Structure 1
Amino acid sequence: MTLKPQSTAEMLAGSLRKMINNGSLPDGSRLVERDLASQFAVSRVPMREAIRLLEQEGMVDIFRNRGAVVRTLSVEDIAEIYELRALLEGEAIFNSVQNMDAETLARAELTHTLLGNAEDADRQGEHNREFHGLLYRGCQNKRLLAMIDELRNQIERYEHFQHRLLSATQAFQHEHELILNACREGNAEAARQETFRHIESAGRVLKDFISKGISAQK
């Protein structure tokens, strides 16, 4: 399969997305088109398009008088995102289990082990995304996978700075093991239910983190 090359705007959107997720552009930051174009040594046209792409993903809000601003998600936003994630990711793994081969399962098991041994949030996030990606890719529905990625992109910055994820690793690892067991057994419905519960669990942890952050600012 030939991959479509990324446009300049798509590459710029990817760079801005990373800056948002790693905290270089925190919630509420203004995205000044002129300054960013200068920083990346591009014209304002592709930068404007890149910002529009991030708006479509739900990462940026564009206001008439303020311009583009990194969107701040509320607890309600997080709840809605995780509700959708649970439904979509449950469906993805249900369909994927039926097409899962031994190599994919072995790679998922290795990634599961690496995740358990990871000592920092960055590496954890990489392994966690890879673990789920491996288990979902057999669903053979590109639009479904794209929707899942878009929802993950919206909340990745909160997961990145959510220190409780480190202490919650063992609980998440147990949930991952239950998902893997269902995949090993070829039980698509069990895999869907365990994935649903896992995403709901992660959502509760993140909502608690966001709620405490809001309370601390009052």
Structure 2
Amino acid sequence: MPTPESRNKSATKGLPEVIRDQLRYEILSGTLPVGTQLRQDALAERFQTSRLPVREALRQLESEGLVTYLRNRGAVVAGMEVDQICELLDIRVALECYAARIGVPNMVQHDIDQLTKILAAYNASESVAEWAEYNRRFHLALSAPANNRRLRRLIEEFCLNTDRYTHEMMSIATGKEGPQSDHYQILDACKQRDGEKVASLLEKHILETKHNLLATARIRSVESERGREAEPDLLALKGARLHS
């Protein structure tokens, strides 16, 4: 059934976009985990519509990398390997740093106020899912003064595709203090209208996420290997008990 938010948005957006936005929110917030099957008939019933707008919404989410199609299962929430996420983070560095160089000198007080409000809301929140959303808003607000809609759309796409995999993991590991410290340094450079400094800080900020992600993957791999090595010992122990 459509949410009140989606019904309000429908006044200005087409039904496929309303459905897309609601499903996108649920994917990014973790309500719809990786691998969840997205059945068109069930979604059509939920949103009280035909399958056509649902099919279009899923097509748009597929183009964003949030949905994929599997044989015999149809549309499912997409997953991503660590190396794929790292590739997207590298692309984010290129896009966001370029946007900063051309956009920060164009900033007016309204832009600074928007960034400040986002970080204040980030500080006040205790929800990891909300931290990810405020992080996304901050990065998109940085790109707006570049006055390039296609560039901003590309940045939004790559933010969407990386934040849902990285931000919750990093937030649980480090809390919000580290990322927020970076954000306030970036904000200070924005106040100085120093595009080069903002670009340098952004590169360091995004690559730090990449390095933490790779380190976490290495640790998990080692732990997994140790677990497999311990399995024969556990089996032997169980066998000994059975024969004791």
Q: What TM-score do you get using the length of structure 2 for normalisation? A: 0.77
* Aligned CA-pair RMSD: 2.5
Cα deviation 1:21-72 (Å, max 9, x = unaligned): 2222211122111111112211111111111111111111123433112111
Contact 1:158 1:206 in 2 (8 A): no
Report the Cα distance in structure 1 between the residues aligned to 2:120 and 2:31, rounded to whole angstroms: 30
User: For the structure 1 residues 43 and 211, does the alpha-carbon distance in structure 2 shift closer, same or farther, using more than 3 Å as the test?
Assistant: farther
Contact 2:166 2:213 in 1 (8 A): yes
Which has the greater radius of gyration? Answer: 2
Secondary structure of the equivalent of 1:116? Answer: helix
Candidates 50, 53, 60, aligned match of 1:46: 53
Report the Cα distance in structure 1 between the residues aligned to 2:212 and 2:14, rounded to whole angstroms: 37
Q: What residue identity is the alignment partner of 1:204?
A: H
Which ranges of structure 1 fall in alignment gaps of 5 or more residues? none
Q: What residue identity is the alignment partner of 1:173?
A: Q
Match in the other structure for 1:68: 75
Output aligned runs, 1:1-218, within 5 Å: 5-159=12-166, 161-162=168-169, 164-165=171-172, 167-209=174-216
Report the Cα distance in structure 2 between the residues aligned to 1:118 and 1:160, rounded to whole angstroms: 15
Displacement, 1:102? Answer: 2.1
Q: How many residues are paired up?
A: 215
Q: What residue identity is the alignment partner of 2:159?
A: R
Which stretch of the first structure deviates more once superposed, 149-158 or 6-15?
Answer: 149-158
Cα deviation 1:135-167 (Å, max 9, x = unaligned): 221000000111111112223332464263573
Secondary structure of the equivalent of 2:169? Answer: coil
Report the Cα distance in structure 1 between the residues aligned to 2:32 and 2:109, rounded to whole angstroms: 41
Report the Cα distance in structure 2 between the residues aligned to 1:213 and 1:10, rounded to whole angstroms: 38
- Report the identity percentage: 31
Displacement, 1:207? Answer: 4.3
User: For the structure 1 residues 207 and 29, does the alpha-carbon distance in structure 2 shift closer, same or farther, using more than 3 Å as the test?
Assistant: farther
Report the Cα distance in structure 1 between the residues aligned to 2:22 and 2:199, rounded to whole angstroms: 33
User: For the structure 1 residues 213 and 155, does the alpha-carbon distance in structure 2 shift closer, same or farther, using more than 3 Å as the test?
Assistant: farther
Contact 1:22 1:160 in 2 (8 A): no
Which ranges of structure 2 fall in alignment gaps of 5 or more residues? 1-10, 229-244
Q: What TM-score do you get using the length of structure 1 for normalisation? A: 0.86
Cα deviation 1:49-106 (Å, max 9, x = unaligned): 1111111111111234331121110001110111111111111111111110123213
Contact 1:93 1:136 in 2 (8 A): yes
